[in-house]
A and B are shown apart, each in its own frame.
Chain A
Amino acid sequence: MVKWSDFERATIQDIFSKIDKDVVGQAALSRCLIVYPWTQRYFGSFGNLYNAAAITSNPKVAAHGKVVIGGLEKALQNMDNIKQAYTDLSVLHSEKLQVDPDNFKLLADCLTIVVASNLGISFTPEVQAAFQKFLDVVVAALRKQYY
């Protein structure tokens, strides 16, 4: 059972209310594909990922970025039971998509960097700690059904 302080709950809700969801998902996913190019192995059907410019302007990457944010919002709505809420997603990533779960951390780090670049001085160390704790829980939940 994950314990969330009032500050953490409020902070995470606040972050999601402040960020432009259409932009952040795309920015984080494209950053992940650029900074950690081996992650491209999972996106063979996405077309042109040849260089940073191609990745940043790729419409499938943008669309998938929104899917990722949608997944995070599901966690946000089920903060006291993310593991349970993510059972199907975890099975999907493990059995169908066969994603090496170490990659989840790479995307999480890129999300942190994108949120940091968007929130300016309001992204204090305490806010960062709360956000990273949330992402850690999400990543653990995604890993849960791997065997």
Chain B
Amino acid sequence: MSLTEKDKAAVKALWAKISKSADAIGADALSRMLLVYPQTKTYFSHWPDTKAGSEPVKKHGKKIMGGVGLAVSKIDDLAAGLLELSELHAFKLRVDPANFKLLAHCLQVVIANMFPKDFTPEAHVACDKFLANVALALSEKYR
């Protein structure tokens, strides 16, 4: 389900509206994922605290949104643009790719929650496709 020009335009338009709140979105989405899908905490056993508002969660949420922003800027070739991140996730982090869907869902819940007027069904489908393609690009190097 590759991105059409219409999808790319919708993603860029949505990003323009939400990017100022990127740090807050990332932290909120990450803390929701850790709470709603407790199995994801297994990747963060080295953190003293996985609760919303904790320092590691805020810091890591910011890092994740940096990746999302990068993906938006490389939307025309995600596999090439996210190559380094894919290698990181494949060889070092080894996150099971099923988890990308869980984070994508939480990201969209947060965007819907914070920007209900902007997260129209049209924006939602473009965003869902985009995040699915980001997940695919991140899994590129897995095997």
The B-contacting residues of A in range 76-126, CB under 8 angstroms, are 109, 112-114, 116-120, 123, 125-126
A120 in contact with B113 given A35-B121, A35-B124, A56-B121 (CB within 8 Å): yes
Instruction: Give Cα A30–Cα B54 distance, bound, in whole angstroms.
Output: 37
Instruction: Give Cα A70–Cα B112 distance, bound, in whole angstroms.
Output: 24
**Contact status B125-A35, CB under 8 Å:** yes
**Contact status B121-A129, CB under 8 Å:** no
**Contact status B109-A34, CB under 8 Å:** no
Instruction: Give Cα A113–Cα B109 distance, bound, in whole angstroms.
Output: 5
**Contact status A117-B116, CB under 8 Å:** yes
Count of chain B residues with Cβ under 8 Å from any Cβ of A? 19
The A-contacting residues of B in range 98-128, CB under 8 angstroms, are 105, 108-110, 112-113, 116, 119, 121-122, 124-125, 128
Count of chain A residues with Cβ under 8 Å from any Cβ of B? 22
* Interface locus among B15-23, B30-38, B85-93, B135-143: B30-38
* A2 CB to nearest chain B CB (Å): 16
Interface status of A143 (Cβ within 8 A of chain B): no
Q: Which residue of B lies closest to A123 (CB)?
A: B113
**Contact status B116-A109, CB under 8 Å:** no
Q: Which residue of A lies closest to B101 (CB)?
A: A109
Binding site secondary structure of chain B: helix
**Contact status A125-B32, CB under 8 Å:** yes
Instruction: Give Cα A123–Cα B105 distance, bound, in whole angstroms.
Output: 15
A129 in contact with B125 given A116-B113, A117-B112 (CB within 8 Å): no
Q: Which residue of B lies closest to A118 (CB)?
A: B116
Please list 12 pairs of residues, one from A and one from B, whose beta carbons are closer than 8 Å in the complex, sorted by A's number.
Answer: A30-B121, A34-B122, A52-B125, A109-B105, A112-B109, A113-B108, A113-B109, A116-B113, A120-B116, A123-B113, A128-B35, A129-B36
Footprint of A on B, CB under 8 Å? 28, 31-32, 35-36, 52, 105, 108-110, 112-113, 116, 119, 121-122, 124-125, 128
Footprint of B on A, CB under 8 Å? 30-31, 34-35, 52, 55-56, 109, 112-114, 116-120, 123, 125-126, 128-129, 132
